[in-house]
Amino acid sequence: MKYIPFFILLILTARGCKDESPDLSQATLKYSAHSRGFYRDVIVEKKMVTIAGHNGADKRTEKIDDTKWKEFQKAFAELDPQTMDGLKAPSAARLYDGAAIAKLEVVYQGKTYESIDFDHGTPPAEIERMVNLMAEYVNREE
């Protein structure tokens, strides 16, 4: 009889220690960058990355290798999608055509979250790791 409260406490403690990191395999990430004459979308979903130009031109899809996928998972765990729309862009070159306009979009658990617009190549620090991982695919040759 003395052991029943102990086992209940043990079960509750074990359940409280469950890993609560978000599951990237359940998310869709979209990075877009565009300016006059330049348009790229990078979509990461289920260990695949799709890169497309304007209206789907030059569309290609690649499998993300395990090492790179782990980097994406770490970066996703650092994101707080609910605050992305309130971030401050560190530069404003996009306002005078000095840089492409970029945006990060996250679809997770049935909700869509969008960042503010920022300069391609200069994302807000809070989303920088994810944006840089995705931007690697923007100018990559086939």
With a cut of 60, say whether residue 15 has pLDDT above it.
no
Kindly report, residue by residue over 92-119, the tens digit of the pLDDT. 999 998 999 999 999 999 999 999 999 9
Note whether residue 40 is domain-resident. yes
CATH code where residue 39 lies = 3.30.1560
Note whether residue 12 is domain-resident. no
- Global pTM value: 0.81
Kindly report, residue by residue over 53-107, the tens digit of the pLDDT. 877 668 899 999 999 999 999 999 999 999 999 999 999 999 998 999 999 999 9
Strands (E), the chain: 27-35, 38-45, 48-52, 60-63, 101-108, 111-114, 118-119
| Nearest C-alpha neighbor of 102 from the set 123, 80, 76 | 123
Give CA–CA dist 91/101, Å, rounded: 11
Domain extent for 41: 22-135
**Residue 29 and residue 48 in contact, taking contact as beta carbons nearer than 8 Å:** no
